[in-house]
Structure 1
Amino acid sequence: MTSAAVNTIGALFAAGVAAGTLRSDMETADVVRAMGGLLRLDADGDWKGQADRQIRLLMDGLQTGAPARAEGHEPEL
C-alpha cells in the first residue's frame, strides 16, 4: 500500500476518532492490517460476499463502544 493511501486512511481514521464514532485505542496500522484480509479473497468464489463480510467485521470492530481486549489477552473459545 502506498504511503499516500496510508496517510489518507490515517486522516479518515483520525477524523472518526475526533468525531467520537471510531475507537481511540486503535492505530492507522491496525486498520491497514485488517484491510489486508481483503487481498486474500477467493477470486474464483463468492468474493463479493466475502468482501462484504470482511468489511462488516472491520467496521463493527472499529466503532466506538466495541469491546477492547487487554493487550496480550486471547479470547476464550
Structure 2
Amino acid sequence: MPVGLLYKVGRDFTEARAEANLTQGEVTKICGIHQSSLSRLEQGNGNATIATLESVANALGCRIEVRLTHPTVRKE
C-alpha cells in the first residue's frame, strides 16, 4: 500500500475516533484488537487486514468505502 494511502487511512481513523469521543483503549476493547495495532494504524504504519479495518470502523460507528480509480495519464 502506498505510504500516502496508509497515512490517509490512519488520519481518517484518528479523526473518526476523536469525533466519536473514544480513546484508543475504548476502541480496542470494543473491536478486540491490541492497542498497539490501533496506534500503528492511526500513525499510518503497519498493514491491517480489511477485517481489522472494518472492525475498527464499526467500533467507531463508521463504514469502510473503497473506490478504485485509474491513474491519470499524462500526455507529453
Give the alignment's TM-score, normalised by structure 1: 0.38
**TM-score (norm: length of structure 2):** 0.39
